[in-house]
Structure 1
């Protein structure tokens, strides 16, 4: 998988209210978004950098770290996110499957403000496979102390929203990184689509399958001459008969002269 040049990822970004590199340290990404170190460090859940064994697809090398570190927990856990008054917001959740080799292993929900399920049955591997970045974009509005999201509304208490990762019937819930931005979905830097990413693979070096196909199409196939086994068997039987007959003819000729 080939990643686009880093410069092509830089886009205009709305006002960043809060950004966290879960399970990791401070980091500034290629779009200029500054992520804090994980505020849950040493308090809740488990921080992991197991993903550092992988190169992450769909993102430039500078931002692999956002998807290589993570926080997970054996139970439901979450973060308190500050807001900045009324307006349009987008919550961007960053995920990457770095451990499992098949789908239906890690599946969980994400809930906002303790009431609204904003991501249902998230199976990262099923979405994008292992070692590939996956972002969820959640637009919502805040107006006069109320949250409006996924067609629902609820009251906001204490000027903060609760973001929770729900332990379900599969493996532990997790998050790699997230940020809250004031603006609309058009202001969010998006990951390149999987189709576009795959189309950038360099086709100049043929794969083994390509080489095999070229051999099949360019080289005439040599078909070995068919040999009848019975034919060779009959020939081996008749050969002694011919020898005996050939030897007997001169003898017969001499007898006739006598």
Structure 2
């Protein structure tokens, strides 16, 4: 897509800021103190709000996510749009926003999006992925490069990272200042267009499910829940500590084989002498009785 055809998206204010603006209007002529309070509160909220520069639902249609980010319908005509992921229930994301990971754009070669960046400042590129086809790693592996110079993601193997049908985000901070693009401490000349290229390797086709660019800091960007967080509680209840399991197995084995397996030197039986002492008087009595029996027989 040529830079002149890149579509810019209006900055979107979160719902909280919109509500504050409504309250601001209502209280405009009623209470000066409330007016001051809500004005200050709105300024604080706006300071930490995401200013969306561009957002697209790759291979899909317009969508507003739960954070109020508006994703445009995919304008790119290179490659193939696909909604194959709709056959899967995507993990780590709400049902409302699963569509961002169910549709995608892929290509049999490298492909790019180009975005006009009219402002300088600190930005975050958030790219969304989900593996919806392959069921093993080392099948779809590709790179992501900014402006043909900055390798920001190398050998991305979505399945290897999160498995099948689970959301995965790549968050890349970058800075534009004084005609320079700075990414991971590397600078290059910047001409107001950010080019995001999904680079084909010798594995399967590169792809992207959705992405957005925001004027923000990485720590302020909405994050996905921890991997397998929805399963950890249940699995921990069912799963034993492997060391405890090993100890239990060893103890059980010892109980079954304690008379067959020795864990130290052989110990003499402490009752062996007692058994010998028990039979010794009987033996002596028998030996002493034999001569008496012989004498009785001669009489």
The answer as to 2:214 corresponding to 1:178 is no
- In the TM superposition, what is the alpha-carbon distance from 1:196 to its structure 2 partner? 2.9
Residue 230 of structure 2, aligned match among 194, 197, 202: 197
- Give distance in 2, aligned partners of 1:136 and 1:53: 23
Give the aligned partner of residue 110 of structure 1.
144
Give the aligned partner of residue 281 of structure 2.
none
Residue 167 of structure 1, aligned match among 184, 188, 200: 200
- Number of corresponding residues: 197
CA contact 1:13–1:31 (8 Å) conserved in 2 = no
The answer as to 2:32 corresponding to 1:32 is no
The answer as to 2:111 corresponding to 1:77 is yes
The answer as to 2:127 corresponding to 1:98 is no
Task: Please state whether the residue corresponding to 1:62 is helix, strand or coil.
Answer: coil
CA contact 1:13–1:188 (8 Å) conserved in 2 = no
| CA deviation vs aligned residue, 1:238-257 (integer Å, no higher than 9, x gap) | xxxxxxxxxxxxxxxxxxxx
- In the TM superposition, what is the alpha-carbon distance from 1:139 to its structure 2 partner? 0.4
- Give distance in 2, aligned partners of 1:53 and 1:37: 20
The answer as to 2:124 corresponding to 1:124 is no
Give the aligned partner of residue 101 of structure 2.
67
CA separation of 1:195/1:53 partners in 2, compared to 1, >3 Å: closer, same or farther? closer
| CA deviation vs aligned residue, 1:61-90 (integer Å, no higher than 9, x gap) | 000000000000000001001224111100
Task: Please state whether the residue corresponding to 2:112 is helix, strand or coil.
Answer: strand
Give the aligned partner of residue 91 of structure 2.
57
Structure with the greater alpha carbon radius of gyration: 2
In angstroms, what is the RMSD of aligned CA positions? 2.3
- In the TM superposition, what is the alpha-carbon distance from 1:197 to its structure 2 partner? 3.3
- Give distance in 1, aligned partners of 2:97 and 2:118: 27
CA contact 1:67–1:96 (8 Å) conserved in 2 = yes
- In the TM superposition, what is the alpha-carbon distance from 1:185 to its structure 2 partner? 0.6
- Give distance in 2, aligned partners of 1:197 and 1:13: 28
- Give distance in 1, aligned partners of 2:212 and 2:89: 22
- Give distance in 1, aligned partners of 2:230 and 2:171: 19
Task: Please state whether the residue corresponding to 1:103 is helix, strand or coil.
Answer: coil
CA separation of 1:202/1:32 partners in 2, compared to 1, >3 Å: closer, same or farther? farther
CA contact 1:76–1:173 (8 Å) conserved in 2 = yes
- Give distance in 1, aligned partners of 2:168 and 2:116: 24
- Give distance in 1, aligned partners of 2:165 and 2:223: 18
CA contact 2:140–2:157 (8 Å) conserved in 1 = yes
CA contact 1:59–1:133 (8 Å) conserved in 2 = yes
Consecutive unaligned residues in structure 1, runs of 5 or more: 1-10, 208-212, 214-258
Q: Which runs of 4+ in 1 moved over 3 A?
A: 200-204
Structure with greater proportional helix content: 2
